[in-house]
Amino acid sequence: MTDVRAFAARQLAPVLASQGSLSGLDAALADSGVATRDRGFAKALCFGVCRTQPRLQALAQELLRQPFKQRDDDIHALLLLGLYQLLYMRVPPHAAVSETAGAARALNKGWATRVINGCLRRFQRESVALQGRVDRDPGVALLHPTWLLKRLRQAWPDDWRAIAEANNQPGPMTLRVNARRTTREGYLARLAEAGIAAEPCRHAATGITLETPCDVSALPGFAEGEVSVQDEAAQLAADLLAPALAGRATPRVLDACAAPGGKAAHLLETCDAELTALDVDAQRLARVRTTLERLGLAAHLEAADAGSLDGWDGTPYEAILLDAPCSGTGVIRRHPDIKLLRRPSDLRELAALQARLLDSLWQALAPGGTLLYATCSVMPEENAEQIAAFLARTPDARAETVDAAWGRAAGAGRQLLPQTGGHDGFFYARLVKESTTPGA
């Protein structure tokens, strides 16, 4: 049987070194040998360490006489795991110390047992003083890299602290009811019968938020396609494209960066469309197929680069959804490794990619058609500023006002900020292609 803490340390080591992510954690767990009963604990450890890493790292620096060598990144991860358990979990302190120190043997580094044990025991003795010392740094206290906290403060001077605090809390589990199979009211009743507490989302018409997250296998009708897991903010895309599809018998729709397929599926649940799901990553595109098959939906799937329109037959689309690659700064609470993996230079590179995708896809949009631009970012350079630049260089494009009860106006679009207990951070802009070029 694989030691759960040693497993977590192996998974975290490349993430802490900015050389990997937690995206493959579920697959790794399935092949790990970690006892089934311990897998939830393993995920909580990995996600928790990433979520609180700035503080854990500062404490580790106080406790260590000298940093571990690069070849011992797994031992460094083990120390952070021990600190996380002592600070944030209900693991009995003696177990957190002894089991974490003992896991060094499972990593074939028995020498580190004494080091980990000594650091964790010292932390227990000096906890109050050590925490007070490191928390003088706002980035440590708010669990964010200094550069990211600075950017949030520049972008949202009145909201940056609330954004950071929301980022530090796990997001709720939100469902999307398949309107082709059932109603929200009907599914809420089924959840109540199953003893699962839930309430309707405030803004998403088919959204439901669970009081407590659960495994999808416990959801009534999940395997049969009656419901999917999708954040409320992401569910708003289908509503925003609905006016462009209304009155059309079978509109041609392109989901340009489709994986993992939640928005494409939602569109097909709400209208009869001829939908093409495009993604540059063939492996990720396979997840779209799996999603659609479970829901009993069909689309044309194509692995291609939306930035070059590879494979496009020249027939324009009435509607295009561009859920653009972005910094993910609106979904940090669901992907806390973003704190470790993002760099300031990433924002410039992503903004350039987003601009290329906008310019390319605009060619494939029919006159009078609508392109919905979306990101799960809270950074203006990826959102309001990106759209302003596109409108300035694209004469036949105009922004259609998103008049909604959610979010706030942000340039020509609408911005949602992450809400504790509520939706993720998201940005939407609805762009319409003029039938004739102004001034022509």
Residue 258 one-letter amino acid? A
Q: Around Cβ 216, how many Cβ atoms within 10 Å?
A: 13
> Under 8 Å CB-to-CB from 82, ≥6 apart: which residues?
96, 97, 100, 101, 116, 119, 120
Catalytic choice (46, 119, 326, 376): 376
Q: How far is CA 201 from CA 235, 323, 421, in A?
A: 10, 22, 11
Query: Is 201 known to be catalytic?
Result: no
Tokens 């469902």: give the residue: 175
What is the sign of the dihedral through the CA atoms of 112, 118, 122 and 123?
Answer: positive
Provide the residue count of the chain: 440
Which residues are tagged catalytic? 376
